[in-house]
Structure 1
Amino acid sequence: MTIDNNTPEKESNWLSILGRSLRQDLLPVLTNLKLAIILLLVIAAFSITGTVIEQGQSGIFYQSNYPENPALFGFITWKFILFTGLDHVYRTWWFLALLILFGTSLTACTFTRQLPTLKAARRWKFYEQPKQFQKLALSAEFDNASLNSLPEILKKRKYQVFQEEDKSNILYARKGLVGRIGPIVVHIGIVVTLLGSIFGAMTGFIAQEMVPSGETFQINNIIDAGPLAAKVPKDWSVHVNRFWIDYTPSGGIDQFYSAMSVLDAQGKEVDSKTIFVNQPLRYKGVTFYQTDWGISGVKVQINNSPIFQLPMAPLETNGKGRIWGTWIPTKPDLSEGAALLAKDLQGMVLIYDAKGQLADTVRTGMSTQVNGVTVKLLDVIGSTGLQIKADPGIPIVYAGFAILMSGVVMSYFSHSQVWALQTGDRLYVGGKTNRAQVAFEREILEVLDLLSSSSIDNIASSDKSLLPNV
């Protein structure tokens, strides 16, 4: 006779042992308050890192700004940033793992602690022995008193009063049960926020575009995208109607703007907005931020030639500012020319002749003689630097934040409880609360004063020679 070791009973036993092991070993770790605090601090630290270190830039950018010698704080170099993923913190596997672990910890705490606490708070709990009132921080005893007036006094103070029909000598009252629900709602809000962040990191993308004024573009330069990111929309495009910069009287940049139009597949405008820093354009879940600017080209005329639009390229200045330059031919065979340099969009351009000498400084609309020809500067064309983001998780994050704030407000309500027991002519009253202890004590003292006054009136109406001893 053979025995089958894989019987349903054995499988059930293994599952039971596994479940018991998870409850006994894993749950205490997940619900540990110290673990939750450590995870929260680590997440906050890496979030700050992602704010300080520029995200989604090119490798050349990090090599220029985070060199190996000298290394920032002795160890933060471009190699370290790229190796650890600090150039895209919010999409790294380890950051997402931290969010999942923190959310799991909150969920476990909710089911093992918060929900049982709420369930216990909802139970009617009567005190039927005088000694039970001794453990309350606030209690009182009355001689020759009755609790008949107590329910009405408590109801006027928004208490929910419970009494059993066959036991009219005992009473339980409570208010502020919403305060017990608040922490659960806070946990739900945090978990929803974390889910929104994870969903956004998995499905969103970031792109960057440098677009000359007057040009139309579609999103192409994706620099970072989640593994589940949707395809970049191709059924609409964006036209930069105009780009301009406002300067301060001292010549510094005050603000730069881009007037933009969203065009459908037929080239019809479906949306438009003038964007600037902290005022983006949003369309179909894609957000266009104004983040940078540049000079894309100049329009010039040589003698009576047609108008040329020449591109300008940024030049290396070793960190001494930004400058763009181009070269224009002054002879038909291209054997001689002049260099044009510009540092901003205020219209001033420096012109250097074939010998490298400064020939003149001109502004838009002005002409000058260079290498024996007349060069007229017609326009300096700016380009707008855009950061483009798609984050489908943002609505979920906002919803989670709204739930979180609601839970915080709910948590400020005190859960107050009052018990009363009458044995013969002796009345016991006591209560406790989970917060705002001083205000609760003041309220209970007012209730006791009213109860005492009511008892005196009742006794006086039956026998004016009797007075209660409180």
Structure 2
Amino acid sequence: MKKIVCDSCGHQNPEGTVLCQQCGKPIDQNQYIDGNENSKLINMRYEGSARRSKTHNKSIVDKTWNFFSSVKIGIWLISITIIASAVGTIFPQEMYIPPNVSASEHYRDQYGILGQIYYQLGFHNLYSSWWYMILIALIGISITIASIDRVVPLYKALNMQKPKRHESFLKRQRLFSSTEQVSEDDKQKAITTLKSIRYKVTEEDGHVLAEKGRFSRWGPYINHIGLIIFLLGCLFRFIPFMYIDEYVWVREGETVLIPGTEGLYYIENKDFILETYGDSPEDERFKEALQKQGGMVAKNYQTDAVIYKNTNPSALGLDPELEKFKEDSIRVNHPIKFDDFALYQSSYQQNEFESMSFKLHRTDDPEEESLGSFSVNLANPENEYILDNGTRVVIDQYFPDYYLDDGEPRSKSKYPRNPAYVFLVYPPGQDDYEISFAGIGRNVDPTGNNEFKLGLQDFEVRDVTGLSVRRDYTLPIISLGGLIFMIGVVQGMYWQHRRIWLHPKNNGLWIAAHTNKNWFGIKRDIEKVINDTNIKMVMDQEEDQNNYQPEEQTK
């Protein structure tokens, strides 16, 4: 890179430097604050140091760096992400809809054409979509590059703070005063006062730099570090090892594999308990409120569960060897926790059919005397049942959750909430069969000529509990990012980087001061420093130039 030599001290500065790193003299005397040509103040942003994005613009790496270091690009990326996130809240995400329904049908049936468009555009899984993750990653890249582009030159400049600065540097500070005659006692008194109000004082050849609160300059960059860690934690949620959020239905008396545990843990639902207000005498005080509610109000959802550990998870194709690991009750907001996993009570289904018993009798028998019976296990129905009299009954079609769609029998879900069957009945010793349709409250002879009839004899029901399975290794990372971000906020909000220069001039003294914010506060510090001395109070040159009007305009 081209070097710029300061004509005052001879220091070689990188191209793009505004203020000489050694003496502070403006490299270009026409450098003004925010491009305001009427300003006589120098630009102290990043201490006048050169930024890479302002000096490199040749290779593709330079152009990429410059693109992401732009604050405008960062704001656009954040704005797009916020808008996309807001769109994702218009309708519930797929993880929050009932797990036993088709997502495409749910959004269409519940929200109409808008829901269908919402689903087809992929907004139902917005926060796990590839393009949303790319947006998050781009924000992280933008924050990282923008921070490095600014923090490196700022760090170098702040580490080269010198008490002795060029006169043009001092005269063009916002706060400045010049006193023609100052005694050595007044000067020493000012230095002593600066030390007493916790300024770090450095002297060089009679020149003084008093500084405090430099660490506050790193507050925004601490914020950026916290944000980057926070975003990394969010991205880690898409790694299965780091974050698991699954759902499992467990029927009473059933033992099933817990999803996400890689075959290591199983759960048994010993009993599901639903308690409502009014079930016990002490709930009598809620009687009036319950009557106003007009229905049953749940007091407690509880699953009494046993967690088993598979002692041989690597044995593929073999039955798991289960060992009791933990037994506890799962209630709302009181999960059962084990080995970094947590099971939360999320839903339930009461009175789900477990088994149904059917009996066979002749159609013309008014007494409906049973010729044989069989029981269907709805969790695992068999294809064929042979009765005592030799009759074979074959399940031709099974509809766990029966409904009619344009006259065609279909099933809403795979769960046995309203089971119905199409049976093929083979009389003893015959190859011809009769068709019979049977279910809850229905028994249909499609031909009207059946010799035999199947009727529902009995059924058994059981409760089903819905549990959320979660493991979150990203929460500590996200929490750490949030904590670091708040440290940066406090660091940058409640402290300021204040600097006061004392410059001896003949028998007098110049005072110049700068702060990154809270100019009123540094003025009060200077008032304390010059109290009981003949040193003049500093003037705010920015206010003076704002009130200045050229002579042509005042006529």
Which residue number in structure 1 is paired with residue 430 of structure 2? none
Alpha-carbon deviations, 1:59-81, whole Å to 9, x = none?
A: 72331333499412xxx416x52
**Mapped partners of 1:469, 1:191: distance in 2:** 47
Q: 1:191 aligns with which of 214, 228, 232?
A: 228
Q: Give a deviation string over 1:414-445, Cα, whole Å, max 9, x none.
A: 11111111234312223221122323322332
Q: Which residue type is aligned with residue 215 of structure 1?
A: E
Unaligned runs of 5+ in 1: 1-17, 221-230, 303-307, 328-334, 340-351, 356-370, 456-466
Bigger drift between 150-159 and 34-43 goes to: 150-159
- Are residues 54 and 446 of structure 1, via their aligned partners in 2, closer, same or farther at CA, if it must alter by over 3 Å? same
Determine the structure 2 residue equivalent to 1:458: none
Partner amino acid, structure 1, of 2:73: L
Which of 207, 218, 226 matches 2:257? 218
Deviation at 1:186, TM superposition (A): 1.5
**Matched residues in 2 for 1:150 and 1:282: separation?**
64
TM-score (norm 1): 0.67
Which of 265, 274, 278 aligns to 1:236? It is 265
Q: Distance in 2 between matches of 1:309 and 1:157?
A: 88
Question: 1:297·1:310 contact (CA, 8 Å) conserved in 2?
Answer: no
Q: Cα deviation per residue 1:309-367 (whole Å; 9 max; x = unaligned)?
A: 9869767799xxxx95579xxxxxxx99995xxxxxxxxxxxx7999xxxxxxxxxxxx
2:193 to 149, 153, 166: 153
How far 1:259 moved relative to its partner?
4.0
1:153-192 equivalent positions in 2, closer than 5 A? 153-164=193-204, 167=205, 169-192=206-229
Contact 1:212-1:296 within 8 A present in 2 as well: no
Structure 1 66/283 Cα, relative in aligned 2: closer, same or farther at 3 Å? farther
CA distances 1:252-277 after superposition (whole Å, capped 9, x unpaired): 34553334443323655544554444
- Which amino acid in 2 is paired with 1:45? I
State the distance in 1 between where 2:217 and 2:536 align: 37
Q: Deviations over 1:199-236 (max 9, x none)?
A: 2213344432111244332124xxxxxxxxxx742222
Q: Tell me if the contact between 1:201 and 1:391 (Cα under 8 Å) persists in the aligned partners.
A: no
Q: Does 1:419 align with 2:501?
A: yes
After TM superposition, list the pairs within 5 Å mapping 1:265-414 onto structure 2. Answer: 265=310, 267-271=322-326, 274-297=329-352, 339=440, 381-412=462-493, 413-414=495-496
Query: 1:108, CA displacement in angstroms?
Result: 0.8
Matches of 1:188 and 1:132, distance apart in 2: 33
Instruction: Please give the per-residue CA displacement for 1:56-101, whole angstroms capped at 9, x wherever unaligned.
Output: 45772331333499412xxx416x524x433332332212211221
Partners of 2:200 and 2:271 in 1: CA distance: 65
Task: Give the whole-Å Cα distance in 2 for the aligned partners of 1:113 and 1:247.
Answer: 61
Which has the larger displacement, 132-141 or 24-33?
A: 132-141
Conserved in 2, the CA contact under 8 Å of 1:206 and 1:388? yes
Give the SS at the match of 1:414: coil
Equivalent residue for 2:521, pick from 430, 439, 445: 439
Comparing 433-442 and 124-133, the one that deviates more: 124-133
Query: How has the CA–CA distance of structure 1 residues 433 and 236 changed in structure 2, closer, same or farther, with 3 Å as cutoff?
Result: same
> Residue type matched to 1:437 in 2?
W
- Deviation string, structure 1 residues 162-197 (Cα, Å, up to 9, x no partner): 223xx1x21112222221112212112212222222
- Cα contact 1:114–1:183 (8 A) shared by 2: no
- 1:71 maps onto 2:113 in alignment: yes
Write the distance in 2 (CA, Å) between the matches of 1:171 and 1:432.
14
Q: Secondary structure at the match of 1:442?
A: helix
Deviations 1:101-132 (A, max 9, x none): 11111111011113322332332133545554
Q: Percent identity?
A: 20
Instruction: Give the 3 Å change call, closer, same or farther, for CA 131–104 of structure 1 in structure 2.
Output: closer
CA distance in 1, matches of 2:248, 2:168: 76
Structure number with larger C-alpha Rg: 2
Matching residue's letter, 2:296: G
Q: CA deviation at 1:294?
A: 0.7
Question: Relative to 1, partners in 2 of residues 1:210 and 1:443: Cα closer, same or farther, differing over 3 Å?
Answer: same
Alignment partners' CA distance in 1, 2:253 and 2:193: 75
| Residues 387/148 of structure 1: CA separation in 2 closer, same or farther (3 Å cut) | same
Distance 1:410 1:237 in 2: 49
In terms of mean alpha carbon deviation, does 191-200 or 133-142 score higher? Answer: 133-142
Query: What amino acid maps onto 1:43 in structure 2?
Result: T
Aligned counterpart in structure 2 of residue 133 of structure 1, from 148, 151, 170: 170
Q: State whether residues 296 and 311 of structure 1, in contact with CA within 8 Å, keep that contact through their aligned partners in structure 2.
A: no
Distance in 1 between the 2:59 and 2:437 partners? 84
With over 3 angstroms needed to count, the CA separation of the structure-2 counterparts of 1:432 and 1:291, relative to structure 1, is same
- Kindly provide the CA deviation profile for residues 15-42 of structure 1, in whole angstroms up to 9, marking residues without a partner as x: xxx9941354222211111211121122
| Aligned counterpart, 2:70 | 32
Q: Distance in 1 between matches of 2:438 and 2:111?
A: 41
Q: Distance in 2 between matches of 1:212 and 1:233?
A: 21
* 1:428 alignment counterpart: 510
Q: Do residues 448 (structure 1) and 488 (structure 2) align?
A: no
SS in 2 for 1:34: helix
Amino acid paired to 2:504: Q
1:201 to 235, 238, 245: 238
Deviation at 1:279, TM superposition (A): 4.6
User: 67, 83, 91: which one pairs with 1:45?
Assistant: 83
CA RMSD of aligned residues (A): 4.2
CA distance in 2, matches of 1:469, 1:176: 25
Give the TM-score normalised by the residue count of structure 2: 0.57
Match of 2:148 in 1: 111
Secondary structure of the residue that 2:263 maps to in structure 1? Answer: coil
Give 5+ residue unaligned stretches, structure 2: 1-55, 278-289, 312-321, 358-374, 380-399, 406-415, 421-435, 445-454, 538-555
Relative distance call for 1:404 and 1:265 in structure 2 (3 A) is same
Alpha-carbon distance in structure 2 between the residues aligned to 1:240 and 1:182: 52
Given candidates 121, 129, 134, the residue that maps to 2:158 is 121
